[in-house]
Amino acid sequence: MTVLVTGASGLLGGAVARVLVERGEAVRTFQRRPSGVVGAEDAAGSLIDAAAVADALDGVTGVVHLAAKVSLAGDPAEFEAVNVGGTGLLLDAAERAGVSRFVQVSSPSVAHSGSSLVGVGAEPADPARARGEYARTKAASEVLALARDRGPSSSDGGRGFSVVAVRPHIVWGPGDTQLVERVLDRAASGRLPLLGQGAALIDTTYLDNAATGIAAALDRADDVHGRAYVITNGEPRTVADLLAGICRAGGVEPPRWRVPAGLARAAGGAVEALWSVRPGADEPPMTRFLAEQLSTAHWFDQRATRADLHWRPAVSVDEGFRRLAAHYGGTAR
């Protein structure tokens, strides 16, 4: 199989591309800068450039789509253009190119409306109720992708197009700038509070597990097409425990001070309003969505994911902390 991986210059996209290369697939990556994945062919371009997308799909039979605008804040039009418009353009071009399997890498935030998610599966993506522009447009793009599913090729010669959506939840690992290094930076400068008691149980996914889970979805696309799956380690931990593990692995003190969850949500809403008028150079320090994520439970039933994808995580949360400590020079406990 020749597989196109979009967004392979990112941490997770690069990990997926390496998994596929290591098992002998012909891998082409597509993003705006070099992926750095040894053994893969880079195709440079933007997801909203129709000609570049069509060129990248030449000879491809499988697609793993990770490229997206990922941010807690930003221009809604940019999220719409990349996450929804770009996905639609890629789907159109993939069908024309004869691609048979398409994995839409989504997010559990597409089904999160602010309340706790406790032991649930992959509930329907809901753009109308998703929190924030990233979640809203990822929900819309997942709905768009799954609507294109036709399943595998039929015996009467009908051309197949098997689409499956996977939602890795809070992916982390060495070199992660989205979560790990922001946690370490904010903890080191005393800007990382616990919301409430930090007792909310949440699932996360170690990087290697997310990558192999996505590869498994590609393998199983003809059998599980038209469905969505949440991928996690299946080891819920409290927010306080997770933050402490990351901080110790990075050699900084875990957060000690607390902010009431309700106050954090109100502050997050105010920061969002300010950022929409006068955005800062980096991510906002708090948003309503982030406050909800840090103060409500969100852990998922993994039985269908593991059974249907024929996959299990290989790296535990504690082993992940040990690998972080080896990378950053801290301690695992």
Q: Which residues are catalytic?
A: 134
Report in angstroms the alpha-carbon separations of 202 from 67, 98, 197, 244: 25, 39, 14, 14
> What distance in Å separates the CA atoms of residue 54 and residue 221, rounded to the nearest whole number?
22
Beta bridge partners of 166: 105, 229
The amino acid that residue 277 corresponds to is V
Contacts of 181 (CB under 8 A, 6+ apart): none
Closest by Cα among 240, 265, 269 to 255: 240
Return the sign of the alpha-carbon dihedral for residues 31, 34, 40, 44: positive
For tokens 């790990």, the residue is 180
> What distance in Å separates the CA atoms of residue 172 and residue 163, rounded to the nearest whole number?
26
> What distance in Å separates the CA atoms of residue 104 and residue 309, rounded to the nearest whole number?
15
Say if residues 179 and 165 touch (Cβ distance below 8 Å): no
